[in-house]
Amino acid sequence: MDLRPLGRSGLNVSALGLGCMSMTSGYGPAADHTAMIALLRDAVEQGVTLFDTAQVYGPFANERLVGEALAPVRSRVVIASKFGFDVDLVSGENRGGLNSRPAHIRACVDGMLKRLHTDTIDLLYQHRVDPDVPIEDVAGTVRDLIAEGKVRFFGLSEAGVQTIRRAHAVQPVTALQSEYSLWWREPEAEFFPVLEELGIGFVPFSPLGRGFLTGAITEHTTFDANDFRHNIPRLTADNRRANRGVVELVQQVASRVQVTPAQVALAWLLAKRPWIVPIPGTTKPHRLRENLAAANLLLPQDDLAELDQGSAALTIHGARYVDRLQAQVDR
């Protein structure tokens, strides 16, 4: 798989990374541990070099899984993890708030290094911006961790433009991670200009619209009680029905090009900028192969224009988070 630069940081990664959250949390019960170890190692053999995890996924379980799976191939991969939620570092209890106090960041990183079986975290993100801690203090702490060799590069997740600028002035930001797909295109106007200006890469999560853009989710789909999509306003049955137009748009292009809707949605993202690296997640080997094939799919300009214009003309119904989680998105 071709490599892509995350901005002008010097960090190059595979054109598609792998989001690992769903292997242990978020989308229902944790998947089989042995099967996920095999999936992660298979991803490496297929050319994936960027693996995305976080302290809060589990908590801790996802980092342990990723660390165990990638330990034998550590020199071939880039591991990204995140701090920022108020997780008890002994019990693992997620207390639901945010915590980016410098001492907590340091303690988080020490735990991450052990769970990930590594001496350094390649890309360390602040998972959510903590309004109670100046971003300069956060960036300064990560700068010091980089100087100590515990971290290589600094990232932000769901951060607003002014926060990005302030952080970047203290410690250069390598990547911004936020939601971006054919049914959430807000980053184009809001973030792309500043990312281009500052030389920051963009790592879209949920590039397949939490599965909706694949066409596999309809208004009749029932989510597991432990699946966080169960509570997302945009994915209520009524809104799934109302948002069907974006799925039909992707399916129309996929049918004409003779690929899958998921491949069209990912290829569209890759065509937007050379410093965009989506991280679709999966627990299924055949979906992994399907997604990664999109890295080699060059959609004709007419099809890209149809996707651009068609999605821009649609009204997307429903918020992407419940109110409590939406309040944690920086603006």
Catalytically active residues, by annotation: 57
SS3 278: coil
Q: Which of 39, 46, 114 is nearest to 76 (CA)?
A: 46
Q: State the Cα–Cα distance between residues 82 and 112, nearest whole angstrom.
A: 9
C-alpha span between 53 and 95 (Å, rounded): 19
What residue has token string 């992407």?
A: 320
Compute CA 132 distance to the chain's CA centroid, rounded to the nearest angstrom. Answer: 24
Q: Which two tokens stand for residue 105?
A: 């960041």
Distance of alpha carbon 321 from alpha carbon 329, whole angstroms: 9
Contacts of 154 (CB under 8 A, 6+ apart): 123, 124, 125, 139, 142, 143, 146, 167, 171, 172, 173, 174
- The pair of three-digit structure tokens given for residue 177, joined into one six-digit string: 């991670």
> What are the helix (H) ranges across 150-218?
161-170, 186-190, 192-198
Cα(326)–Cα(115) distance, rounded to whole angstroms? 29
Contacts of 215 (CB under 8 A, 6+ apart): 247, 250, 251, 261
Dihedrals phi, psi of 25, to nearest 5 degrees: -165, 170
Q: What is the DSSP string of 284-314?
A: -HHHHHHHHHGGG----HHHHHHHHHHHHTS
Distance CA 15, CA 299 (A): 15
